[in-house]
Chain A
């Protein structure tokens, strides 16, 4: 049986599955949590950061459910990206541009996520003061227009990669078989992407406009 003796198919499907669950699901949760930044330092540092830090089995969740699936998705993606030769200018169709953007955003996201994790989670582990006031740390960082710009681009690349990935995963798994179904679900994914992007952008702006008083 090809699917058991030869791991090719299962690896490709695993790459697809992990991109949606848990990585994609985590992105939605992450953007939702961080959109609470606008309620200010006290709310964010206690209701968001401390609440998550107090979860049981946190290292298992962070490593087993987020870091490892993300690493597999990223590095397997990098391994197979070379088999494609995109020609977005010769064939200017939307789906073909999205094919190219999916690969460009994937590489960009890997760099962004490494930077993002280093300056938040890793920095928080190194320096307890950063972990204690993650809101203030993020507010200071995002006050720099360059950092804000990089985060805004990273956010929208992530949202694009997830929503387009959902649309193509639906074709790969055979959820959407007909062209009409693929088009319909494409619009659903576009709507989902815009919603997540707006939630995320709102979260980024929230750090800058929220009240600073009452740091926990």
Chain B
């Protein structure tokens, strides 16, 4: 959870400022509402909603698309925001009053979000040209012109909503699970692992399947035009990292050769081109390229076993 500490610090600090004002008897409670509507903020006193004085108006350029098969188009909006907000809260605010910069009232912009704390992976999109989860992208990190596009490489459902089913297909392709049931006892007591191994494996268990690594990977095929979830081409860094994780698991290790054979087929490990964008953009700071290096070693050993036995 270390990765989101920095993202969470700022909003917490902003809340404390509000609390301090309250404690000093500055403003009465009912005036300190975080969720002010755009009409309130533009009409009246911005400092009421943003005691730190960071309220500003941002211009939003959003690439919209009405249907999976229709052509995309750009629309521009102006939204009054405060620095403690993130991209999701800005989009929710825009949804209340979807009027473009040139005054047209349009259908609300469709987008996905669930957890708001970078654990569900639903809200990834292209923010100023970079793939990021929109919940952990704070407006204080962005300028006055913000450009939003749907996550590339995935089919657009509508506006900023994409179909990420392909990520699940890829997890199935590499057998990213642990078999618990069999004709034999898998284990008698709880399986043990060293603290050192646990610490190393934990890094890979943080994957939220947001698709950001796949979007940035030059080898991950562009499936934006696909109507059915694809199950071919490079499986992508996230699925490979799960192979690394589950091969090390005391029970998952039973199926290690099966997983290695799965990633030795087309679209597997050797389709990685070592551009290493994945590890740079991963919001959870998962050591994806270390996973790829470790799997390189595991497959080298596996091919020797396949060819020479053992």
Q: Which residues of A contact B (CB under 8 A)?
A: 1-4, 6, 8-10, 12-13, 83-87, 90-91, 93, 95-96, 98-100, 168, 171-179, 181-182
Q: Which of B218, B290, B302 is close to A96, meaning CB atoms less than 8 Å apart? A: B218
Interface flag for B226 (CB, 8 Å)? no
Interface flag for B277 (CB, 8 Å)? yes
B213 to chain A, nearest CB (A): 11
Interface of B is mostly: helix
Check B129 against A12 for contact (C-beta < 8 Å). no
Known: A2-B265, A83-B233. A173 touches B296 (CB 8 A): yes
A75 to chain B, nearest CB (A): 17
Would you give the 0/1 interface string for B259-278, flagging 1 where the beta carbon is closer than 8 Å to chain A?
00110111011111111110
Q: What are 26 A-B residue pairs whose CB atoms fall within 8 Å in the complex?
A: A2-B261, A3-B303, A8-B268, A8-B270, A9-B265, A9-B268, A83-B233, A84-B219, A85-B222, A86-B275, A90-B130, A91-B280, A95-B274, A99-B218, A99-B274, A99-B276, A171-B296, A172-B270, A173-B300, A174-B297, A174-B298, A177-B296, A177-B297, A178-B287, A178-B293, A181-B293
Q: Cα distance A4–B305 when bound, in Å? A: 11
Name the residue in A86, A172, A179 with the highest tally of chain B Cβ atoms < 10 Å from its Cβ.
A172
Residues of B within 8 A of A1 (CB): 261, 306
Check A99 against B307 for contact (C-beta < 8 Å). no
Q: Which residues of B contact A (CB under 8 A)?
A: 129-130, 216, 218-219, 221-222, 233-234, 261-262, 264-266, 268-277, 279-281, 287, 289-290, 292-300, 302-303, 306-307
**Which residue of B is nearest A102, CB measured?**
B273
Q: Cα distance A211–B293 when bound, in Å? A: 50
Residues of B within 8 A of A178 (CB): 287, 290, 293
Name the residue in B216, B275, B276, B287 with the highest tally of chain A Cβ atoms < 10 Å from its Cβ.
B275
**Which residue of B is nearest A2, CB measured?**
B261
Q: Cα distance A86–B217 when bound, in Å? A: 8
Check A95 against B303 for contact (C-beta < 8 Å). no
Q: Cα distance A9–B270 when bound, in Å? A: 7
Q: Cα distance A91–B216 when bound, in Å? A: 8
Residues of B within 8 A of A177 (CB): 290, 293-294, 296-297
Q: Which of B219, B277, B293 is close to A174, meaning CB atoms less than 8 Å apart? A: B293
Q: Cα distance A12–B273 when bound, in Å? A: 11
Residues of B within 8 A of A83 (CB): 219, 221, 233-234, 271
Q: Cα distance A83–B130 when bound, in Å? A: 22
**Which residue of B is nearest A177, CB measured?**
B293
Known: A4-B306, A91-B216, A178-B293. A172 touches B262 (CB 8 A): no
Check A171 against B307 for contact (C-beta < 8 Å). no
Check B296 against A172 for contact (C-beta < 8 Å). yes
Residues of B within 8 A of A95 (CB): 274-277
New contact pairs (13) apart from A84-B218, A84-B273, A96-B276, CB-CB < 8 Å: A3-B306, A4-B306, A8-B264, A86-B218, A90-B130, A93-B277, A96-B275, A96-B277, A172-B270, A172-B272, A173-B300, A179-B287, A182-B289
Q: Cα distance A172–B274 when bound, in Å? A: 8
Known: A84-B273, A86-B275. A174 touches B299 (CB 8 A): yes
Check A6 against B264 for contact (C-beta < 8 Å). yes
Check B262 against A91 for contact (C-beta < 8 Å). no
User: Closest 7 interchain pairs by CB?
Assistant: A174-B297, A174-B296, A99-B275, A2-B261, A12-B270, A177-B293, A9-B264
Check A179 against B218 for contact (C-beta < 8 Å). no
Residues of A within 8 A of B307 (CB): 3-4
A193 to chain B, nearest CB (A): 16
Q: Cα distance A122–B306 when bound, in Å? A: 42
Check B293 against A182 for contact (C-beta < 8 Å). yes
A73 to chain B, nearest CB (A): 15
Q: Cα distance A216–B292 when bound, in Å? A: 55
B47 to chain A, nearest CB (A): 38
Q: Cα distance A87–B261 when bound, in Å? A: 30
Q: Cα distance A204–B266 when bound, in Å? A: 42
